[in-house]
Amino acid sequence: MICRYFKVAHRDMVYLKFILEAYEGMNVMSTVDNKAGIIRIAIMPGFVEDMDALLAELGRKVVMEPVAWNDATCEF
């Protein structure tokens, strides 16, 4: 899996979850730090380009600040 980490407003977490769940089998979104608003989007192999395009489009509607996150559960 390839993981992308973003800081988002709490009010946007549910919106993003619903949108990303519609792309079943391509990704899994989870919250890694609820207090700070950090989410992880784990992208399945073969879908990285499609998901990066989707995340870029979502970034036009929702503020998604990329962040670095040390996560041993998500290997590249």
- At 10-57, the pLDDT tens digits run 999 999 999 999 998 999 999 999 999 999 999 999 999 999 999 999
Closest CA to 64 of 13, 27, 20: 13
pLDDT band at 76, cuts 50/70/90? very low
pTM: 0.87
Higher pLDDT, 43 or 76: 43
pLDDT band at 69, cuts 50/70/90? confident
pLDDT band at 70, cuts 50/70/90? confident
**Beta strand spans in the chain (E):** 2-7, 27-33, 38-43, 65-66
What are the structural domain ranges in the chain? 2-66
State the amino acid at position 27 in one-letter form.
Answer: N
DSSP state of 46: T
Task: Report, in this order, helix, strand and coil percent for the chain, each rounded to 5.
Answer: 30, 30, 40
Token digits of residue 39? 């989410």
Can you tell me which residue has the tokens 């399945």?
A: 44
